[in-house]
Structure 1
C-alpha cells in the first residue's frame, strides 16, 4: 500500500461540511483541524472522544470522555493486577452537556462532569495531565511527552456508492511514560517509573455498525523505548491503515493490512498478528469483557491485556524486537 504522509496543517472537513480529501493520509504529529466535527446536517453520526489507558506494574487504569451527539459516555476503570479486582464506573447522559471536548487535539481541555464521574484532561508543558474521581477511585497522572516524540494520526474514509459521507480521524499515541498517584478506597498508590500511557483521540462521522480490532504495546526492549500500534477490520479496503511502530520516539509507518489470527471462542489463547513487515504474538493475561445495550446503542468489547513478542520492520527495514512489552489487543462490535 502507498499512503501519503501529511506534513502541513489541514482541515478534516471541507467548506460543505463533508470530508476534505486533502486530509486523507497520515501524520507523525497532530496536524488535522477537526473543528468541523460535529458540524450541521450530520446529527447522530458524529463521534468524538478522548480515551487513555495507563498500565502500571500493579494496576491498569482506563478513562473515557466522549460524546456521540445524542448521548455522552464517560468512564473510569481500574484493575488490580494482584487481586484481579476491577472497579468500573460508567455514566451515560443524554446529549453533550456533560462533555467538554477540544475542537482539535491540543486546542483545549477535555472534561466530564456527572454526579459519579469527574474527569479532566489538560495539556501541560511536556505532557498531558489526567485527573479523575469516582465514588471509589481518584487519580492524578502525568503522561510525559518526551522531546521529539511522534504519534500516529490517520484519516480513514468509508466509501459507499462512490461517496465518502463517513470518515474517521484518529490519533494513536503509545509509549508515553506515566507517573503520578492512584487512590483506591482512600489508599494512595504510586504510579511509578515503568508505567506507560496510551491515547486514542477520535473525531469523525461513523456508520451505525462498525467492527474493529485495535492493539497497542509500550515498554523498553534492549534499552530502546518501543511503542506498538496496530488496527484492523474498520480500516480494511479503505486505502489506509493504522499500523506503526515507534522506536525512541521516532515513528515508522507500516503500510500493510496485517493478518489477525485469534480464537473468538477462547479469547485467552495467544493472538498472532502478522504480514510481510511484522510477525507478532500477543499472550493475554486478562480479558476486560463488556456489553452495553441501551436503546439504539449496542456494544460488545473484548479487550485483552497481555504481553507482546516478535518483531516489526521499521522504515529502514531493521527488525525491531517487541519481546516483553505490555499492552492490549481488542475485538469490538459497535452499533451506535
Structure 2
C-alpha cells in the first residue's frame, strides 16, 4: 500500500528556522493545525485533540480499554478562529464548549492534558494527565515539502513519561510508570486530497524503552520521511520509505511494516480493535480514518547496529483519507 520504497538523503535542521520567508508564500487561511495526544499504559489508550482544519475548530477525546474492548469517543465543533492555536510545539490552548472542555497547557517541563464532559458515552468524564518532556529526550521533527506553497511540519514525540488519571462515571483509570504520552503536532498547508498511513507505539521491551513512528503514502515523492525509532530517549531517523502491507477490505487482518534497503524495521501489527471515524461526503469534503489498536512484534535496528526484538508492544496503526 505504498510506492516503490526508496532511501533518501534528507537535509537536517540543527537550529530553529522560519518555514516561510517575508514573500507571503504561506497561505495562512489554508493552514491545518492540530495537537493530538495519546497516552498509553499496557491496558488503556486515552487521546485528546485540539485541531483547526480551516473550516472548523474541534476538540476531541476518546478512550480504548483493551481489557473490556470498550471504546468511547466525543467530538465538539466550533467556528473557525474561535481560539488562537499556538504556532510553536509548546503553547496553551483550550476549547471550552458547553458539551466538553479540552485543555492542553504547558506546566513546568511538560504538558497537562485536562478533559471534562458531562456526557461521555452516557457517563461523566474527567481526565487529568501530566506528560513530561525530559531535557535530553530526542524527538522527531520534519518538514515534508510538496511544493513551495504546500508543506507540513510535524513533530512526533513518543515515550514521554505520563502520569494521571481518567475517570468515567464511577471508574477511575490511573496512568503510572510505565505509561507514556505521544504527541502528533502538525502545522501545514496540505493538498486538497491526501491519504496517509501512521503507526506509533511507546513501551518497555526488556530493559529498553522503545518508541516507534511509522509513516507512509503522504510523504511519497517528497524525498523526506517521518520514520524514526526512539530507544532510551535517543532518536534514530529512518531515511527510507516503508512498505505497509495490509488489506484495505479487511483491516483487522495483520499489517506488516518494513524497510527494504536496510534492516531498520520489520514489524507485524496484530489489530485488536478498529476505530472508524468518518465525516463529510465522498463527493465533497470528507475525512475517513481507520485506526487500529493492537500490538507490534518483530525487530528494529536503531543506530549502533544492535537488533532489538519487539514483542506485544501496544500501539496503533491507521489509514486516513481526506479531502479538505
User: Would you say same fold, with TM above 0.5?
Assistant: yes
Conservation of the 8 A alpha-carbon contact between 2:42 and 2:314: no
Residue matched to 2:304: 316
Residue matched to 1:330: 318
Q: Which of residues 261, 271, 280 in structure 2 aligns to 1:284? A: 271
Conservation of the 8 A alpha-carbon contact between 1:219 and 1:325: yes
Instruction: List runs of 5+ in structure 2 lacking aligned partners.
Output: 1-7, 119-123
1:14 equivalent to 2:21? Answer yes
Instruction: List runs of 5+ in structure 1 lacking aligned partners.
Output: 19-38
Take 2:191 and 2:131, find their aligned partners in 1: how far apart are those partners? 32
SS of residue in 2 equivalent to 1:324: strand
For 1:116-195, list aligned pairs within 5 A: 116-135=99-118, 136-159=124-147, 164-195=148-179
Take 2:149 and 2:284, find their aligned partners in 1: how far apart are those partners? 21
Take 1:229 and 1:84, find their aligned partners in 2: how far apart are those partners? 24
Q: Which of residues 172, 183, 186 in structure 2 aligns to 1:199? A: 183
- TM-score, normalised via structure 1 length: 0.87
Conservation of the 8 A alpha-carbon contact between 1:155 and 1:169: yes
Q: How far does the alpha carbon of each residue in 1:78-108 deviate from its partner, in whole angstroms, 9 at most, with x for none? A: 22322222221111222120x34212111x2
May I ask how many residue pairs the two structures share in their alignment? 308
Mean Cα deviation higher: 198-207 or 142-151: 142-151
Deviation at 1:63, TM superposition (A): 1.1
Residue matched to 1:25: none
Conservation of the 8 A alpha-carbon contact between 1:285 and 1:306: yes
Deviation at 1:245, TM superposition (A): 0.3
Deviation at 1:216, TM superposition (A): 0.5
1:267 equivalent to 2:267? Answer no
1:297 equivalent to 2:285? Answer yes
Residue matched to 1:113: 96
Conservation of the 8 A alpha-carbon contact between 2:159 and 2:180: yes
Take 1:170 and 1:125, find their aligned partners in 2: how far apart are those partners? 23
Q: Which of residues 222, 227, 238 in structure 2 aligns to 1:238? A: 222
RMSD, aligned CA: 1.7
Residue matched to 1:209: 193
